[in-house]
Amino acid sequence: MFKPVICGIALACLMIGGAQADAITVDATGVAFSGVELYSDIQYSTSALGLMRNELYLDLIRPTSAEPAPVIVFVTGSGWRAVERERLLPQLVRFGEAGFAVASIDYRGIGEAKFPEPQMDVKAAVRYLRQNAALYNLDPDKIAVFGPSAGGHLSLMAGLTGNDPAFVDDRLPDVSSEVAAIAAFYPAAYLGESGQAGYDLASMHMGLSVHDKANAEAVANATPASHITADSPPVLLIHGTEDKVVPIDQSQRLYDALNAQGVDATFVTVTGVGHDFEQMTSVPEVTDALIDFFTRTLKND
């Protein structure tokens, strides 16, 4: 009984298709082709990390180029809780198209580990990629870290602590953990100043109450500003004015602290955007700022 309707639709489609038939020539002369490829489920850590899992993995987006690619190690957020590392890969493809390899990594989250173990995971990923740069056609001297929110905190801590032995474990310990640049969206830079008073996510990450003044020294050690030196790598901070989770003042203060030490620092304020990675990466000027920053710090000698 549905055949006349289907035939009618088919005939209409043919008529429309016929009316739209055109011969079009596209001139691609001089176009720089920017393909990317994806390597999934690369195991970067084989150490016994606890009862929940013994391996950590990364997914690697890299440009289809013969030249070794500079690397951005991407650290997911979500309140220091383990999340699917592949969840934000679509938003990261643009960086591959711009000539950067992007490694989206696992790290141990709340319930698996506490500070500074997740930071050690980030640094272990940096060391793995540096050690295996030739295998994946990467530039071992051009590695950056980037993350949003809690991932921004982990990126800042991993990047600012460099080869500090307090943050380096036995996974390739003789390989450098230093990075050439750090970028962070709305990072949780000052623990204990946001979130619910009591045992909130930051406290669970630390394994102690970040709101208890008796723990001030331990909290300070987990504060990126405590690890800034004149030799710290360049830092890009991007924060939205409508952020209700991490106040924009935290990025402003961290930017001021970086400036006070003479560090190459950039602070981008984004009007009308909140605590949302998809929102932030949908703003062309934000993605452009990231690409410009990574180009300057990872591609220019």
Give the predicted TM-score (pTM) of the model: 0.89
For 248-285, how does the pLDDT look when each residue is reduced to its tens digit (9 = 90+)?
999 999 999 999 999 999 999 999 999 999 999 999 99
Confidence of residue 195 (pLDDT cuts 50, 70, 90): low
Q: What is the pLDDT of residue 136?
A: 97
Q: What is the pLDDT of residue 237?
A: 98
Percentage of the chain modeled with pLDDT above 90: 79
Domains contained in the chain, CATH given: 32-299 (3.40.50.1820)
Cα–Cα distance list, 14 to 4, 7, 198 (Å): 15, 10, 66
Q: How far is residue 245's CA from residue 40's CA, in Å, rounded to a whole number?
A: 32
Beta bridge partners, 219, equal none
Q: How far is residue 122's CA from residue 43's CA, in Å, rounded to a whole number?
A: 13
For 64-86, how does the pLDDT look when each residue is reduced to its tens digit (9 = 90+)?
989 999 999 999 998 999 888 99
DSSP structure class, residue 108: -
Q: How far is residue 61's CA from residue 51's CA, in Å, rounded to a whole number?
A: 30
For 5-59, how does the pLDDT look when each residue is reduced to its tens digit (9 = 90+)?
444 444 445 455 557 788 999 998 887 767 899 999 999 997 655 556 779 999 9
